[in-house]
Amino acid sequence: MNDRTMKAVLFDRFGGPEVLYVGRVPRPAPAHGEVLVRVRAFSVNGGELAVRSGRLRLINGQKFPQRVGLDFTGEVVALGTSATGVAVGEPVWGVVGRASGFGSAAEYVTVPAERLGRVPDGLDLVSAAALPVATTAITALRDKAALRPGERLLVRGAAGGVGNAAVQLGQAYGAEVTALARAANLDFVRTLGAHHVVDHRTVPPAELGLFDVVLDTAGTDLRAFRRLLKPGGRMVTIAFDQTRPAASLGYIAASAVHGRSRVRFFSGNPKRALFDALAHEVAEGNLRPVVDTIFPLEETAAAHRALEAGGVRGKYVVRVD
Contact between residue 226 and residue 237 where contact means Cβ atoms under 8 Å apart? no
CATH number of 134-265: 3.40.50.720
Query: Strands 71-79, 91-95: parallel, antiparallel or unpaired by DSSP?
Result: antiparallel
For the full predicted model, state whether its pTM sits above 0.75: yes
Q: How far apart are CA 19 and CA 62, in angstroms?
A: 14
Q: How far apart are CA 62 and CA 57, in angstroms?
A: 6
Cα 110 from Cα 8, distance rounded (Å): 13
**How many Cα atoms occupy the beta-carbon half-sphere of 177 within 13 Å?**
30
Q: Which fold has domain 5-130+290-319?
A: Quinone Oxidoreductase; Chain A, domain 1 (3.90.180)
Cβ neighbour number for residue 49 with a 10 Å cutoff:
19
| Residue from 129, 11, 17 nearest 67 by CA | 11
The domain spans of the chain are 5-130+290-319, 134-265
Per-position pLDDT tens, the chain of length 321:
457 999 999 999 999 999 999 999 999 999 999 999 999 999 999 888 888 988 877 666 678 899 999 999 999 999 999 999 999 999 999 999 655 568 999 999 999 999 999 999 999 999 999 999 999 999 999 999 999 999 999 999 999 999 999 999 999 999 999 999 999 999 999 999 999 999 999 999 999 999 999 999 887 778 888 899 999 999 998 865 555 555 555 555 555 555 567 666 666 689 999 999 999 999 999 999 999 999 999 999 999 999 999 889 999 999 998
Measure the CA–CA gap between 27 and 80, rounded to whole angstroms.
15
Other CB atoms within a 10 A radius of the CB of residue 99 amount to 7
Q: Measure Cα distances from 301 to 14, 26, 144, 226 in Å.
A: 13, 22, 34, 35
**Cα 35 vs. chain centroid, distance in angstroms?**
22
223 and 205 Cβ atoms separated by less than 8 Å: no
Q: Confirm whether 5-130+290-319 and 134-265 share one CATH topology.
A: no
Strand residues in 13-133 grouped as ranges (E)? 21-26, 34-43, 66-67, 71-79, 91-95, 108-112, 116-118
